[in-house]
Structure 1
Amino acid sequence: MLNKELIQSDHYCGENAQKLEFEKIFSKGWFFAAMESDFPENNSYVTLDIFSYPVVIQNFKNDLRAFQNICPHRFNKIQTKARGTGIFMCNYHNWSFDKEGKPKTIPQKASFDTESEEFKCLKVKSLRLEKVGKFIFVSLNDEVEPIEKHLGSFYDKLIEISNALDFNFYFNDDLQNINWKIIVENVVEAYHCPAIHQNTLYGMGFCRIPETNNEYENGHSVADYPKEENAVPDNKILKYLENIEFKHNTFRHYFIFPNLLISSTQGTSIYIGNILPATSEKSILRKRFYSPKFADNFEPRKAVHTSFLEMAKTSINQILEEDKDVLEQIQKNIPFINDTYFIGNQEIRIAHFHKKYLETIK
């Protein structure tokens, strides 16, 4: 049953797959775009490209607005860095825009016919934006379903995770030669951990016994991967981590369709992964790591906690690099395959993802 309705191999490469997914998935529904921590001050912004479609989210005095990241004058990109702080202005001719996307300042404005209907209609195209706790979602579709319907019961889970996040201590874009779906498939199963993560996750005692607390809804899923009882005990120096808000004795992983990954190792640090498909064979994995929030105003020793976060950064990046090496090889092999995967019961979250994907692209 698991292997009867899976994505065929030709969906992992080629322009046809890319056009279909942009039209049916990323143009029609919601996708994860940013975190609240990306906007610490007025004029801070984040940019992202979805199959080359440019998106920018800009902070206008704590009012977040999403736009197509294209100047309506001569079609240059307005904001060009992944994130930063700067007024909403195109650097080609220094046109700036207000929070409605309308021209605000225009050098040598008298040289333009500002009374024409064409000029009065000139504006940066706005996009739908919704905040769910500290998570920010965007849609290119004005008639998209409510975000609450898209997320279902996972709406409250994102609120719970938001309440557990303290500060963002790492942000990085990693361009990978991997189709975005292969990244999803890898992280929603732990079957590969004994082979690939021998010295990291598996070595820490996780992914040795069956996953628990599985939940599935509308393409989203979550699972806990318990820590084996006789695993290496936690470092006593890190006993202060018992005071965290989001405590659980598992490696917990969430997937929010189509492009949000969240994992937490016993709640001690939280990884937010944002998959940004670039082409059918390339993706950017935008990585954000968060310190946990501590309960009852507990304040850890700064030097100890800083050292722990540095260790967590190294560990999470090592796990992601271990995956990347294998997944890039899979991407190279897929064009030579005419069928699809053969999966087992430990990979059931893949089947759930494929089911949602196939329903969406019909």
Structure 2
Amino acid sequence: MDDRAQQRQLPPLPTTVIPPQRYSGDAAYAEEVAKIFRRSWMFVGFADDLRNDNDFITAEIAGTSVLVQNFDGELRAFHNVCTHRYSLIHLRPCGNGKPVCPYHGWVFNKDGVPVGIPGNREQFGFSEEDRRRLALPRFEVAVRGRFVFVRLEAGGTSLDEQLGAYGLVLDHLSETFTDRIDDGILPWAANWKAGVESVLEVYHVDATHPETFKKFTKKVWDCSYEKEHSRGTTHLSDGSVRWWDGVNQKMGLPRSEMLRNYDHFFVFPNLAIGITHGSLMSVQTYDPVDPDHCNLHYRLFLGETSKPQTKGGAARKAVEDNLRGFNVQVLREDQVVSEAAHKGLKQVTRPAVPGWGEERIFAFHKAYLDRMAAE
């Protein structure tokens, strides 16, 4: 049977996609920041970094610097910008310390109020009411499993409602993958949507990843959908299965019984989670910087070994180095084509034409366009 006959047997493809003009330009970017990134529960980090009093994490949500701080066991989220002269308060991605502005030493409490102002009487004479007016803007914070989310604009659905059935997935992943082995950021010269699209399909694998991901999987791709989110599952190659079985046995790594292949989850708008052989978790966010740039923040996790004697050993280190190197190589290959696509998107007006190997892109585009149409 020739290709044309095979094509005629395929069901019709969706036709609605994001127009190229939405991938650049300040006006389009400002609108999606207002309608998507400020209204969505955004993944910002892991509760692992917030276990103790005064532990904190920081994140950028489409141009807004956010801090999440542990105040004696209670997590609260604030704008990470001092209300005095607008310095960032916490300068590190995570750490332990009270919210103290490094510029002039203003100290903020769990309500975001500046309770410590050096030389207040001589410099300002602020009353208690004045201090309350200078409180940091507060954001909503919620945790599912070990995944921490922040929402900039109050109101709307709860985190559990936004996640739907994927909330249970995050619970399971949080219990299984406890050992972080890598955490890094790659700046991409591409719109965040172009970055997201690079992980939602396998059609590009042969051309983009001929020596890496292509050898890692078979040509099987099953997709399913949950609210605005999606899942894609592909089978690992026989060689990959043998390698992982050997690693699991030698290192005593746990394996998820729910996720046995390469299972990839996407949580709208920009969180991607890949599970390999039930043994490795990759967590990625495509964080917008401006219309033409995003930061790819990646993290890798293994489960806790049942053979503690292997932890820190040469064999374990070699496995972790292998996984880190492979992951970064694949991401850099995606970076090249995403940046090339971004340049091309700025030169055309005709919408793209994804095929069935890219079907999750249609779901992503629909969720995006629905959000943009909302008032």
TM-score range, shorter chain: over 0.9
Kindly tell me: are residues 241 and 339 of structure 1, through their superposed partners in 2, closer, same or farther at Cα, counting changes over 3 Å?
Answer: farther
Do the aligned residues in 1 keep the contact of 2:270 with 2:287 (CA within 8 Å)?
A: yes
Report the residue type matching 1:265 in the other structure: T
Report the residue type matching 1:201 in the other structure: F
Choose the corresponding residue for 2:220, options 210, 214, 217. Answer: 210
CA distance in 2, matches of 1:317, 1:130: 30
Cα shift readout 1:183-224 (whole Å, capped 9, x = no counterpart): 1111011111112222212112x0x32213x32122211121
SS in 1 for 2:359: helix
Name the residue aligned to 1:95: 106
Choose the corresponding residue for 1:255, options 240, 257, 266. Answer: 266
SS in 1 for 2:243: coil
SS in 1 for 2:275: strand
Name the residue aligned to 1:301: 310
Shift of residue 306, structure 1, vs aligned partner: 2.5
Report the residue type matching 2:324 in the other structure: K
Shift of residue 48, structure 1, vs aligned partner: 1.9
Shift of residue 298, structure 1, vs aligned partner: 4.9
What pairs with 1:271-310 in structure 2 (closer than 5 Å)? 271-294=282-305, 297-299=306-308, 301-302=310-311, 303=313, 304-310=315-321
Shift of residue 339, structure 1, vs aligned partner: 1.7
What pairs with 1:157-172 in structure 2 (closer than 5 Å)? 157-172=169-184
Kindly tell me: are residues 230 and 177 of structure 1, through their superposed partners in 2, closer, same or farther at Cα, counting changes over 3 Å?
Answer: closer
Name the residue aligned to 1:246: 256
Provide the alpha-carbon RMSD of the alignment: 2.0
Kindly tell me: are residues 162 and 116 of structure 1, through their superposed partners in 2, closer, same or farther at Cα, counting changes over 3 Å?
Answer: closer
Choose the corresponding residue for 1:189, options 196, 201, 226. Answer: 201
SS in 2 for 1:246: coil
> Where do 5+ consecutive residues of structure 1 fail to align?
none
TM, length-normalised to structure 2: 0.89
Name the residue aligned to 2:167: 155
Choose the corresponding residue for 2:228, options 219, 223, 228. Answer: 219
Report the residue type matching 1:225 in the other structure: T
Report the residue type matching 1:218 in the other structure: K
Choose the corresponding residue for 1:109, options 99, 110, 120. Answer: 120
Task: Confirm whether residue 334 of structure 1 aligns to residue 332 of structure 2.
Answer: no
CA distance in 1, matches of 2:191, 2:60: 15
Do the aligned residues in 1 keep the contact of 2:253 with 2:279 (CA within 8 Å)?
A: no
Cα shift readout 1:26-56 (whole Å, capped 9, x = no counterpart): 1122111111123354333222222322111
Name the residue aligned to 1:27: 38
CA distance in 2, matches of 1:347, 1:242: 36
SS in 2 for 1:94: coil
Q: How many residues are paired up?
A: 357
What pairs with 1:3-82 in structure 2 (closer than 5 Å)? 3-82=14-93
TM, length-normalised to structure 1: 0.92
Shift of residue 256, structure 1, vs aligned partner: 0.4
Choose the corresponding residue for 2:325, options 297, 311, 314. Answer: 314
Report the residue type matching 2:254 in the other structure: I
Do the aligned residues in 1 keep the contact of 2:114 with 2:132 (CA within 8 Å)?
A: no
> Where do 5+ consecutive residues of structure 2 fail to align?
1-11
Do the aligned residues in 1 keep the contact of 2:113 with 2:134 (CA within 8 Å)?
A: yes
CA distance in 2, matches of 1:276, 1:232: 32
Shift of residue 229, structure 1, vs aligned partner: 4.6
Shift of residue 275, structure 1, vs aligned partner: 1.9
Cα shift readout 1:260-279 (whole Å, capped 9, x = no counterpart): 11112112221111221000
Shift of residue 242, structure 1, vs aligned partner: 7.0
- Say which is worse superposed, 133-142 or 58-67, in terms of deviation: 58-67
Kindly tell me: are residues 243 and 119 of structure 1, through their superposed partners in 2, closer, same or farther at Cα, counting changes over 3 Å?
Answer: closer
Do the aligned residues in 2 keep the contact of 1:226 with 1:251 (CA within 8 Å)?
A: yes
CA distance in 1, matches of 2:136, 2:356: 48
Structure 1 consecutive aligned stretches of length 4 or more whose deviation exceeds 4 Å = 229-232
Report the residue type matching 1:146 in the other structure: S
CA distance in 1, matches of 2:79, 2:190: 25
CA distance in 1, matches of 2:254, 2:157: 35
SS in 2 for 1:202: helix
Name the residue aligned to 2:336: 325
CA distance in 2, matches of 1:71, 1:320: 35
Shift of residue 154, structure 1, vs aligned partner: 0.8
Cα shift readout 1:222-243 (whole Å, capped 9, x = no counterpart): 1211124577832775233675
Shift of residue 289, structure 1, vs aligned partner: 1.1
Cα shift readout 1:48-93 (whole Å, capped 9, x = no counterpart): 2223221111222332211111111222211122333332111111
